[in-house]
Amino acid sequence: AGCTPRRCGRGVTDAVITKEEAERIRRIAERGLALGGSDGGASILDLHSGALSLGKHFVNLYRYFGDKIQDIFTEEDFALYRDVRQRIQERIAQAFGISSVSMYLTKPTFFSRINSTAARTAHDEYWHPHVDKVTYGSFDYTSLLYLSDYTEDFGGGRFVFMDTGSNKTVEPRAGRVSFFTSGSENLHRVERVEWGTRYAVTISFTCNPGHAIGDPVL
């Protein structure tokens, strides 16, 4: 109640996050991912769980680096991250006519850095079509905040909704937010990145408080 939409759907907006804010958030991702990175083309940084790609595996950022984390991130970084997350949540609620307080942040919520390096593990094969509700289970609403620009920072890497009879394609732009209901109505994929580096952050929400997570705290 209060969270299930009257209809499924999707939206794209450039009016929630400024380009300057996106650049600040991208710097958070760059600093965190500089501590590790996948051997393949897709690297993940999750500030909530601490998961960080390192080679062919993941480490816990907070345990692996300990107190040195204080030299990488600031309280202002985390405050901006929380503020942006809240604005995206409110925009989704407005678009679908639901209550934002009935939505809960859920895992995984993460930064992604994708380049043209060949895949080394199944995790690196980000381009396969999928449904978020099937892949992650707890997702009811998915959002992506793009942190770099298509054709300027990277080639390929567009987000494709795979509709019957026609595809709908989103071109990433720093500050652009794409959001959608997470079920089978929104089968999608990401094109392979051909050159450059694509940064984004996936922020996901659930209607089930049992699947809720808190905002990351430094």
DSSP characters over 34-86: TT-EESSSEEEE-TTT-EEEEETEEEEHHHHHGGGGGGT--HHHHHHHHHHHH
Is 134 domain-assigned? yes
Q: What is the mean pLDDT of the chain?
A: 96
Considering the domain boundaries, does residue 3 fall inside one?
no
- Two tokens at 195? 């050159």
If one counts the domains in the chain, the total is 1
Output the pLDDT for position 218: 82
Which residues span the domain enclosing 162?
A: 10-211
Nearest to 113 by CA among 24, 196, 171: 196
Average pLDDT (144-169) is: 96
Cα distances (Å, whole numbers) of residue 140 to 19, 36, 118, 136, 189: 27, 30, 31, 10, 17
Structure confidence at residue 123 (pLDDT): 86
Question: How confident is the model at residue 55, as a pLDDT?
Answer: 94
Using a pLDDT cut of 70, give the percent of the chain over it.
Answer: 100
Active site residue 6: no
pLDDT exceeds 90 at position 29:
yes
Residue 5 within any structural domain of the chain: no
In a domain, 83, yes or no: yes
Band of residue 94 on the pLDDT scale cut at 50, 70, 90:
very high
Q: What pLDDT score does 141 carry?
A: 98
The model's confidence at residue 162, banded by pLDDT at 50, 70 and 90, is very high
In angstroms, what CA-CA distances link 93 with 3, 96, 104, 142, 162?
8, 5, 11, 12, 24
What are the strands of the beta sheet with 159-163, ordered from one edge?
A: 166-170, 159-163, 188-190
Number of residues that this document lists for the chain = 218
Tell me if 138 is assigned to some domain.
Answer: yes
In three-state form (DSSP H/G/I as H, E/B as E, the rest C), the secondary structure along 128-163 is CCECHHHHHCCCCEEEEEECCCECCCEEECCEEEEE
Q: If you average pLDDT over residues 189-217, what whole number do you get?
A: 97
Record the pTM: 0.96
From the candidates 91, 158, 173, 198, give the one annotated as an active-site residue. 198
Element (H, E) at 111: strand 104-114
How far apart CA 114 and CA 200 sit, in angstroms, is: 9
Band (217; pLDDT cuts 50, 70, 90): confident
Question: Could you tell me if residue 4 is inside a domain?
Answer: no
Per-residue pLDDT band for 67 (boundaries 50, 70, 90) equals confident
Q: What is the pLDDT of residue 88?
A: 98
Asked if the structure places residue 68 within a domain, the reply is yes
Give tens-digit pLDDT for 103-143: 999 999 999 999 999 999 988 999 999 999 999 999 999 99
Tell me how far apart the 2 most distant CA atoms of the chain are, in Å.
53
| CATH number of the domain residue 125 falls in | 2.60.120.620
- What is the C-alpha to C-alpha distance for residues 17 and 68, in angstroms, rounded to an integer? 29
Give yes or no for residue 68 having a pLDDT over 90.
Answer: no
Q: Does residue 193 form part of some domain?
A: yes
